[in-house]
Amino acid sequence: MGVDANDQLYPLAFAIVEKETTDTWSWFLACIRCLVTQRTGLCVISDRHKGIMKAMNENGSGWEEPFAYHRFCIRHHASNINSKFKNRALKDLFSWTAFQHQSIKFNTGLAKINELNVQARADLDTLPLSKWSMCHGGALRYGIKTTNLAEVFNNVLKGARFLPITALVKVTFFRVNSYFVQRREFAKARIMEGLKFSPVVTKYVENNFEKAAHHKVEPFNSETGVYQVKTGRGQRTAGKGGHRHTVNLSKRTCTCNKFQIYHFPCSHVAAVCRTYNLTTDQFIDPHVIEEGTWSAKVQKDS
């Protein structure tokens, strides 16, 4: 499953195999590289199934870096931690830590994990942070944290799996085709209305502009596009606001890290655009534009 610009399912490929093994995963992923897409820089999010892990790391497979980047489903990882340590609080704390955008909050979470369970903290040290931490490897994820969407489509095809192979293929084809027909027409209608971005992205940017109305912008270097933004609480709950973040428009970064992770303006970038009458369109990644057929977000699930 892929993910489109509206954070909806984008079916990519299906295969019928005898069982899930290292060999079948290697064959399937090789077919995708050969027959579906040869583009580089893809982010593949999966559980840590041995077959997927081996296929992704195999030399010459086309899935090793920099051709593709493998990231772990945070929900699956949290479930594995719960299975091993039988501690729901530890599972929730791991999820909270992995979801954080800023390193200071991430480090706070790691410290709490260490206090709760030293072995769990040691286990995390054996894995690259980029594999499971949003603030360390989230830019390639485009905000996608789990393989939940792939599992949603598994449910769509749940009854079809017990059909004879010919009937199974037909059911899969027509259900997938209906997805493309509906969403193609929906995207065309939005484009005809002059709307360049998907509803999800539009809503996020509008919400960030509302937050930005309460922020204060201080220019550091207007020529290079560097500004400091002090956040205001506005209508948000107590404890929000009062923070300072540095925006660098030329490098397309913000110290909140949301700009880099989600690839569209955070409220701090929106505040700068609002203050200096800049259009936000130039700061939205092409992969989250409505007209785009593909997204640089690909999910694989076992």
Q: What is the separation of C-alpha 143 from the centre of its chain, rounded to a whole number of angstroms?
A: 3
For residue 234, the model assigns a pLDDT of 65
Specify the DSSP element, H or E, that contains 288.
none
Q: What is the separation of C-alpha 157 from the centre of its chain, rounded to a whole number of angstroms?
A: 24
For residue 79, the model assigns a pLDDT of 95
Residue 300: Cβ-neighbour burial (10 angstroms; 0-12, 13-18, 19+):
buried
Q: Please name the residues in contact with 193: beta carbons below 8 A apart, sequence gap of 6 or more.
A: none
For residue 293, the model assigns a pLDDT of 36
Radius of gyration of the chain (CA): 21
Helices 199-212 and 267-276, packing angle to 10 deg: 70
Give the Cα separation of 144 and 208 in Å (integer). Answer: 19
pLDDT tens for the 302 residues of the chain, in order: 888 888 888 888 999 898 889 999 999 999 999 999 988 889 999 998 898 999 888 888 899 998 999 999 999 999 999 999 999 999 999 999 999 999 999 999 999 999 999 999 999 999 999 999 999 987 999 999 998 888 888 787 878 888 999 999 999 999 889 889 999 999 899 989 998 889 999 999 999 999 999 999 999 998 999 999 999 876 655 556 689 999 999 999 999 999 999 999 999 999 999 999 999 999 998 877 644 333 334 444 43
Distances (CA, A) of 154 to 11, 14, 68, 264, 286: 11, 11, 24, 30, 29
For residue 108, the model assigns a pLDDT of 97
Point out which residues pair with 10 in neighbouring strands: 2
For residue 235, the model assigns a pLDDT of 65
For residue 239, the model assigns a pLDDT of 57
Instruction: List, as own/partner pairs, every contact residues 242-246 make where C-beta atoms lie below 8 angstroms and the sequence separation is at least 24, other chains included.
Output: 246/220
